[in-house]
Structure 1
Amino acid sequence: MHSKRFLVRRTVAVVAAGAAALVLVACGGDSDGGDGQAAASASAAQGTYGAADVAFAKGMVPHHRQAVEMAGLAAGRARSPEVKKLAEDIEKAQGPEIETLSGWLVSWGEEVPAPGAMDHSMHSGTGGMMDAEEMDGLKGLSGSAFDTAFLRMMIEHHNGAVAMAEVEQADGAYAPAKAMAGDIIASQTAEITRMNDLLGQD
């Protein structure tokens, strides 16, 4: 009897220990597997970007920041409700893209252009960026004069962004960046048409 009880107890103990071990292995396996997959995904992502992707992100961050800055002026200066709505749409679209672009740069070990480093004069004539004088001039306008200047400047700005996005699609290697570039081309080309319509142009 004693030997049977001992065997039963031992069997129960072994089964319980085995079950506990299985639970631990299962939990540990899920955790380790998840971490391993995340690390593998991170490594894969790190290996799929190139110089064109870095240039795209570094160029588009200040470019978008200026567009958001310009759009922010419309609320208190624009006369046309359509211009105000367009400006709101630009802010809503490009604000989150700035965050995404900045996140990519950080993950790649690259410096994110500092907000204070957005020197308009550095970008004047490239990518449709406005210089300091143009920005100051826009800030000094209101009503219909602001609407006209804003639309003309933003068309130029958007054309620059579309050109930058086309380069990314042609030369980039990072799939999410190329996808964003495609979105920029589609959305900003549509907005260019919208702005030209507001200006009464063909």
Structure 2
Amino acid sequence: MTPQESTAEETAPPSDRAPGDGRPASAYNLGRRLRVMGAVLAGGLAVVLALLLWLGVLVPAKQEAAGYSDADSSYATLSVEHNAQAVQLAALAPGRSDDDEVLELAVEVGESSAARVRELADWLDARDIPVPAAGKEALALADAGLTTELPDDGSGPRAGSTAHSHEGGNHGMLTAEQINGIASLKSTDFDIALLAALVEHHYGGLQPADEEIEGGTDPEAVALAQAEADAIRVEVEDVRDLLASVGGPGSTNDETR
């Protein structure tokens, strides 16, 4: 090779052909990008199919093997949140109520609601179903004590701050604004507002419990729902009687009878 030939090769413009291919380099690069994109899409599709398999086949199969259904797990999850809010309401009483009977009833409601949260959380844990954060917060609040005033910012001690997927009139759940309104009151005004809220809250808890009793699959979950419904029907009568004795409005709701 002459020096002239060597110089010509070194200075020759790059080829627009793919190595070992008759196609232009741009076409080669496009093909390579398409193959990469195809691999990525295939991987994503595999993930989606695996998720659908898990939700559509493996989860129901796991539920069937464990003897529970979606209705059972939905009831337990919702009821944890519902009872967590009852604990929160009961914890408002110390420092706001001057009535010994109201304070005593608040403790009873709070402790019974916390006990139901524990039972339902155990049921969920045993089946590897996540326990709502509201339940854990309520248990911590109950463990801190329902007979003494807890420090707060004036709007009341908070439990169940994450339990608002059913709030605003569904199953008797109160909104944060409604709870703040109750927490801003004192003495008789507070007593009436708290007891009236507990009446409506308890009535709201009857629906999911009764639905589980009628349509649940897991015997333990159905038994928990039955126990809850029975307790609600007793507790709400006590709350209504006390509400009337402190000058609150009478209730003509006969759902618990």
Into which bin does the TM-score normalised by the smaller protein fall? 0.7 to 0.9
Matched, 1:168 2:187: no
**TM-score (structure 2 length as normaliser):** 0.58
Contact 1:121 1:131 survives alignment (8 Å): no
Q: Give the whole-Å Cα distance in 2 for the aligned partners of 1:55 and 1:119.
A: 14
Over 3 Å off, 4+ runs: 43-46, 119-122
- Two-structure CA RMSD over aligned residues (Å): 2.2
Amino acid at match of 2:131: V
Amino acid at match of 1:83: V
Contact 1:48 1:174 survives alignment (8 Å): yes
Between the two structures, name the one with larger relative contact order (CA 8 Å, sep ≥ 6).
1
State percent identity of aligned pairs.
32
2:187 pairs, out of 119, 130, 143, with 143
Match of residue 114 from structure 1: 133
CA shift for structure 1 position 45: 9.7
Call closer, same or farther: CA 1:143–1:162 in 2, change over 3 Å.
same
Match of residue 184 from structure 1: 228
Match of residue 153 from structure 1: 197
Per-residue CA deviation, residues 28-58 of structure 1 (Å, 9 max, x unaligned), is: xxxxxxxxxxxxxxx9995221111100111
Report which of the two structures shows the higher radius of gyration computed on alpha carbons.
2
Contact 2:66 2:127 survives alignment (8 Å): no
Larger helix proportion, structure 1 or 2? 1
Match of residue 98 from structure 1: 117
Contact 1:46 1:108 survives alignment (8 Å): no
3-state secondary structure, aligned to 1:104: helix
Q: Give the whole-Å Cα distance in 2 for the aligned partners of 1:46 and 1:78.
A: 49
Match runs of 1:53-72 below 5 Å: 53-72=72-91
Amino acid at match of 2:236: I
Q: Give the whole-Å Cα distance in 1 for the aligned partners of 2:169 and 2:98.
A: 28
3-state secondary structure, aligned to 2:92: helix
Unaligned ranges ≥5, structure 2: 1-61, 135-159, 245-249, 252-257
Shifted more, 133-142 versus 118-127: the winner is 118-127
Number of positions where the alignment pairs a residue of Structure 1 with one of Structure 2: 160
Call closer, same or farther: CA 1:96–1:192 in 2, change over 3 Å.
closer
